[in-house]
Amino acid sequence: MKNLNKTTQKLITTIAVIAVLYAIMQTMQSTGNLSSLMSGLLVPVCAYSLVAVGLNLCVGYLGELSLGHAGFMCVGAFTSAFFSKAFQESIPDVPRFILALVIGTCAAALFGFLIAIPVLRLSGDYLAIVTLAFGEIIKNVINVLYIGKDSSGLHFSMKDMMSLGMEPGGKILVNGPQGITGTPRQSTFTIAVILLILALVVAHNFVNSRTGRAVKAIRDNQIAAETVGLPITKYKLIAFTISAAIAGVGGVIYAHNINSLTATTNNFGYNMSIMILVYVVLGGIGNFSGSVIAAVVLTMLPEMLRGLSNYRMLIYSIVLIVLMLFNWAPGILKFREEHGITSKGILDRFKKHKEVQ
Amino acid sequence: MKKRLLSLGLCAAMTASLFVGCGSNGSNGGGDNVETSGELTWRLGGIGPTTGGAAQYGQGVMNAIQIAVDEINEAGGINGYQISFNFQDDEADAQKSVNAYNTLKDWGMQILEGTVTSGACAAVSAETYNDRIFQITPSASSTSVTEGHDNTFQICFSDPNQGTVSADYIAENGLGTKIGIIYDSSDPYSSGVYQNFATEAANVGLEIVATEAFTADNKTDFSTQLQKCKDAKADLLFLPFYYTEGSIVLTQANQMGYAPTMFGVDGFDGLLGVENFDVKLAEGVYLLTPFAADAEDEATQNFVSKYEEQFGGTPNQFAADAYDGVYIIKEALEAANLTPEASNEEICDALISAIQEVNYNGLTGEGMTWNELGEVSKSPKAVIIQDGGYVSVQ
C-alpha cells in the first residue's frame, strides 16, 4: 500500500469505509436492529451519492457548472423503468435488470453527449444555462408522453391516452404526469453499493488517466492546453458524457426502488439539480468521497429531523447554511486553522492521543 | 498501517452508532399528536403534504383526522381502546412519502389513513401491500392507487368515475354542445379526469372543440387557453382542476367577456372560500362535490364549527373525507371486533373483509359501501352555485 500514490490510497480508504458501513448495515438489517426508515433510505442514499459523484466529475475536473444533472438522472430513471415495465413478462428478472441498467446509463450518456456537442465548444457559463433548460425540458416532455402496448406493438402519443388508439386490452406503460406505475422493485442495497463503488473507481481512474490529465489541464488553462495541441472539445465531451452516464446509473437505481415514478419539480426538476450541486459543493469540489458523505448526510438529515414536525425544513436550511459557512467562509477557516479544527489537525491530535496511550 | 485500520474501524463504528440511535423501538415518532403514556392504543398513521405547494390539502386532512380522533377518544375510543394519531409530511413527493411511511412504521402504526395525493399514494400503497398494513386514502383518486392492492380503499370517488359522470351529466341535460377543456397536464388527478371525460364524451356524442393544457409551472395566466376556447366557440368549459386555479380562470374569462357554462369537478369545492375572489363570478358554475360546508345537517355543522374553532378557515371536501375516514375505520374495527393486540396482518385481513360489509352514513355521502377493488359506491352529484351557495340540481 505504501508504494501506491496518495489519491489511490484515498480511494481504497473510501471504498473500505463504504464496505465496512455496508457490512454493518447488512448485519443490523438481518438482525432486525435497523429501523424501517433507515432501511428504506439505504437505496435512495446510494442513488443520490451516485449522481453527486457524476456531477463532481463535471464540476470538479471539467470545471464546468451543470445545473441539469437531475435531468440526466430523470432520463436514466424513465428509460430503464420503461424498459423493465415493457419487458416485465418476457425477460427474466436478472438479465432484465442488467439490460435496464445498461439502457438507462446509455440513454443518459447519449443525452449528455448530444447536449455537450454544441455547448462545450463555447467558453463561459453556457453549459449551466443549457443544462438548466435541458432538465426542465426533459421533465415537461415526460409529463406529456404517453406510451401504451398492445398485441400490435407499442403506441406513442404526445397528446393524451385516447390518441394512442390502443386495443381495449392494451397496457399503458407511461401515462403522462402519472408516470410509470408498477416498476419491478429490483434495486437492492447490495446492487446500489456495488454500483457506487464501481462509479468511484471509474471516476478515480478516469481522473488519473491520460485523458483525465488532459481534462484537468484544460480546466486549469485552456489556452495553454490548446497550445500543446490537445483536442479540447473531444476531452471535454468524454468527461461530460461519463458524468452524465454516472448520473443515469443513479436514476436507474432510484427508479427501481419506487413503485410510482413521476417527474415533478421536487424529484427531477431544478430543485433536485441544485440539491445535487449542494452535495458536491458541501462535500468539496473535486473530492468524490466528500460528495458521497454530503449526499448521505443531507438525504438523512430531513428524515432524522422528523421529530421537529413542521420546523424541520427550517432547521434543515439553517444547518445547511452553518455547514457551508463552517466549510468555506474565510474567517471561519482562519479560526479553524488557528485552533486546529481542521480535518488534518483533528487527525493529528487523534494520532498523538493514540501514541500516548 | 495498523493505525490507519484502527481509525477506519473507529470511524465506521461511530457512524454506525449514529444509525443505532434511531433504532426500531418505536419511540422516536415525531408529531405524536395524542399523549399515550405507555397504554395500549390504536395507532393510526396519516401521511400528506403539510409543506410545499399542496400543503393546504394535507393540512386540511391532518386537522380533520385530529378532530375525529379527539371526538372518538372523548366518547371512549374504539372497542374500548383510545386512538393515537401521528401525521407525517411527504411534500407530495413519492420518495418522501415512502420515507414518511417508514417513519410511521417505526412508530408502530397499525392503520394508515393516507396519503393525500395520488402519485405519492401509489408508491405508498405498494409498500403497505407488501407489509400488510390496512390503508384508506381520503383523497387520492387515481386508479393506480387501488389497482392490484387489496388492502387499499378510497373514500373519494375515483378519476374514471368523475370524468364519466360529468360527461354523462352534460349530455343528458344538454348543458352544452361544443365543449372546451382546460386541464393541468402535469397533474395526475387533472389529466386522469380529463382522459376519462374525453373517452366518455366520444361515447355520448359530445363535441370537444378545444383541448388546452397548462402545467404546474405556469398556472397563473390562462388567457391564451381561454382565448383559444373562445375562438373555437366553446359554449361549455370543462375544468378538471383545483379551485385556486379555478378562481383565476373565472376571473380572466370574465375580463375577456367570455361567459360559457363552467363545469368543474370535485377540485372546485372550496371555490367560494378563495381570498380576493369575487364570488359573484362563481354564480352558475357547476361542480361535483359530495360535501357542502354550509349543509344544514347536524353532523356537518358540528364538524365545520369545530374545524373553524380549532384551526380557522372552512374545511373543504378533502377534510370531510378524512373525517369520515376515521369513523369508517372505527365502524369496520367494531364490526370485526378487534383489539390493538392483534398483529398488523390480522387487522389488515379483518378490515379488508369488514369494510366491504360497512354501510356508512357520513358527511360526504349516505349509505357508502366499498367493493373489493377498494372503490367507494357513492356517486358524484352535480351542484350549481347560486346566490353564494351550493344548490343540488338533481
CB atoms inside a 10 Å sphere around CB B123: 26
With CA atoms as reference, the chain B residue closest to A140 would be B186
Q: How far is residue A127's CA from residue B8's CA, in Å, rounded to a whole number? A: 39
Residue from B62, B106, B127 whose CB has the most chain A CBs within 10 Å, to mutate = B106
pLDDT level of residue A251 (50, 70, 90 thresholds): very high
Which residues of A are less than 8 Å from B3 in CB distance? 351, 354
Is B93 in CB contact (< 8 Å) with chain A? yes
> pLDDT at position B26, please?
35
Q: How far is residue B320's CA from residue B349's CA, in Å, rounded to a whole number? A: 26
CATH topology of domain B42-157+298-368: Rossmann fold (3.40.50)
> pLDDT at position A81, please?
95
Least Cα distance to B109 among B91, B70, B136 occurs for B136
Which residues of A are less than 8 Å from B125 in CB distance? 259
CB atoms inside a 10 Å sphere around CB A247: 36
pLDDT surpasses 90 at A214: yes
Is B203 in CB contact (< 8 Å) with chain A? no
Give the gap in angstroms from C-alpha B250 to the nearest C-alpha of chain A: 25
| Higher-scoring residue by pLDDT: A353, B105 | B105
pLDDT surpasses 70 at B18: no
With CA atoms as reference, the chain A residue closest to B195 would be A161
Q: What is the mean pLDDT of residues B92-109?
A: 91
| Higher-scoring residue by pLDDT: A350, A253 | A253
| CATH for the A6-31+41-356 domain, from 1.10.3470, 1.10.4100, 1.10.10, 1.10.287 | 1.10.3470
Instruction: Indicate the domain borders of chain A.
Output: 6-31+41-356
Least Cα distance to A84 among A320, A254, A330, A316 occurs for A254
Is A307 in CB contact (< 8 Å) with chain B? yes
Q: Which three cell numbers stand for residue A248?
A: 443515469
Which residues of A are less than 8 Å from B50 in CB distance? 310
CB distance A79 to A107 below 8 Å: yes
The size of chain B, in residues, is 394
pLDDT surpasses 70 at A352: no
Is A41 in CB contact (< 8 Å) with chain B? yes
Is B215 in CB contact (< 8 Å) with chain A? yes
For residue range B217-241, what is the model confidence (pLDDT) as tens digits? Answer: 788 899 999 999 999 999 999 999 8
> pLDDT at position B2, please?
55
CB atoms inside a 10 Å sphere around CB B310: 11
pLDDT surpasses 50 at B344: yes
Q: How far is residue A240's CA from residue A243's CA, in Å, rounded to a whole number? A: 5
Is A25 in CB contact (< 8 Å) with chain B? yes
Across the interface, of B101, B119, B195, the residue whose CB is closest to A162 is B195
Q: How far is residue B251's CA from residue B207's CA, in Å, rounded to a whole number? A: 25
Most confident of A3-17, A242-256, B9-23, B232-246: A242-256
> pLDDT at position B28, please?
36
Is B52 in CB contact (< 8 Å) with chain A? yes
Across the interface, of A175, A177, A185, the residue whose CB is closest to B186 is A177
> pLDDT at position A276, please?
94
Across the interface, of A34, A260, A347, the residue whose CB is closest to B119 is A260
CB distance A49 to A296 below 8 Å: yes
Is A160 in CB contact (< 8 Å) with chain B? yes
Q: How far is residue A55's CA from residue A74's CA, in Å, rounded to a whole number? A: 14
pLDDT level of residue A354 (50, 70, 90 thresholds): low
Most confident of A122-131, A188-197, B219-228: A188-197
- The whole-chain average pLDDT of chain A stands at 88
Across the interface, of B96, B122, B187, the residue whose CB is closest to A181 is B122
Q: Which of residues 311-350 of A touch B (CB under 8 A)?
A: 312-313, 347, 350
Question: Rounded to the nearest 5°, which phi and psi values hold at A315?
Answer: -60, -40
Unique residue bearing C-alpha cell 378519476:
B159
Across the interface, of B101, B144, B148, the residue whose CB is closest to A260 is B144
Question: Rounded to the nearest 5°, which phi and psi values hold at A240?
Answer: -70, -35
pLDDT surpasses 70 at B10: no
Q: How far is CA A10 from CA A3, A200, A209, B1, B141, in A?
A: 13, 11, 16, 13, 51
Q: What is the mean pLDDT of residues A104-126?
A: 90
Is A39 in CB contact (< 8 Å) with chain B? yes
Is the CATH number 1.20.1510.10 carried by domain B160-289? no
Whether residues A179 and B142 touch (CB distance < 8 A) is answered with no
Is A297 in CB contact (< 8 Å) with chain B? no
Element spanning B367, H or E: strand B365-368
CB atoms inside a 10 Å sphere around CB B205: 9
- The reported pTM is 0.86
Is B120 in CB contact (< 8 Å) with chain A? yes
With CA atoms as reference, the chain A residue closest to B95 would be A258
pLDDT level of residue B20 (50, 70, 90 thresholds): very low
Question: Rounded to the nearest 5°, which phi and psi values hold at A153?
Answer: 120, -160
Whether residues B194 and A38 touch (CB distance < 8 A) is answered with no
Q: What is the mean pLDDT of residues A255-283?
A: 90
Whether residues B144 and A178 touch (CB distance < 8 A) is answered with yes
Whether residues A176 and B99 touch (CB distance < 8 A) is answered with no
Distant-in-sequence, close-in-space partners of B115: CB < 8 Å, separation ≥ 6: B47, B48, B90, B97, B100, B121, B124, B137, B140
- Peptide bond before A105: cis, by omega within 30 degrees of 0? no
Is A28 in CB contact (< 8 Å) with chain B? yes
Whether residues A20 and B198 touch (CB distance < 8 A) is answered with no
> pLDDT at position A110, please?
97
Whether residues B22 and A261 touch (CB distance < 8 A) is answered with no
pLDDT surpasses 70 at B326: yes
Q: Which three cell numbers stand for residue B125?
A: 400503497
Whether residues A303 and B16 touch (CB distance < 8 A) is answered with no
Unique residue bearing C-alpha cell 454544441:
A118
Residue spans in chain B of domains classed CATH 3.40.50.2300: 42-157+298-368, 160-289
Strand order in the sheet with B111-114: B83-89, B42-48, B111-114, B134-137, B152-154
Distant-in-sequence, close-in-space partners of A161: CB < 8 Å, separation ≥ 6: A146, A148, A172, A175, A176, B195
Q: Radius of gyration over alpha carbons of chain A, in Å?
A: 22
Name the DSSP class of B389.
E
> pLDDT at position B51, please?
83
Which residues of B are less than 8 Å from A175 in CB distance? 144
| Higher-scoring residue by pLDDT: B177, A105 | A105
Least Cα distance to A80 among A65, A99, A54 occurs for A99
**Antiparallel, parallel or unpaired: β A146-150 and A171-175:** antiparallel
> pLDDT at position B23, please?
37
Interface contacts A/B by beta carbons within 8 Å:
164
- The whole-chain average pLDDT of chain B stands at 84
Whether residues B185 and A25 touch (CB distance < 8 A) is answered with no
Across the interface, of A33, A36, A41, the residue whose CB is closest to B105 is A36
CB atoms inside a 10 Å sphere around CB A336: 17
Which residues of B are less than 8 Å from A32 in CB distance? 24
For residue range B21-41, what is the model confidence (pLDDT) as tens digits? Answer: 443 333 333 444 444 556 789
> pLDDT at position A34, please?
87
Q: What is the mean pLDDT of residues B164-179?
A: 88
What are the beta bridge partners of residue B32?
B86
> pLDDT at position B24, please?
35
Question: Rounded to the nearest 5°, which phi and psi values hold at A155?
Answer: -125, 135
CB atoms inside a 10 Å sphere around CB B370: 23
ipTM of the complex: 0.86
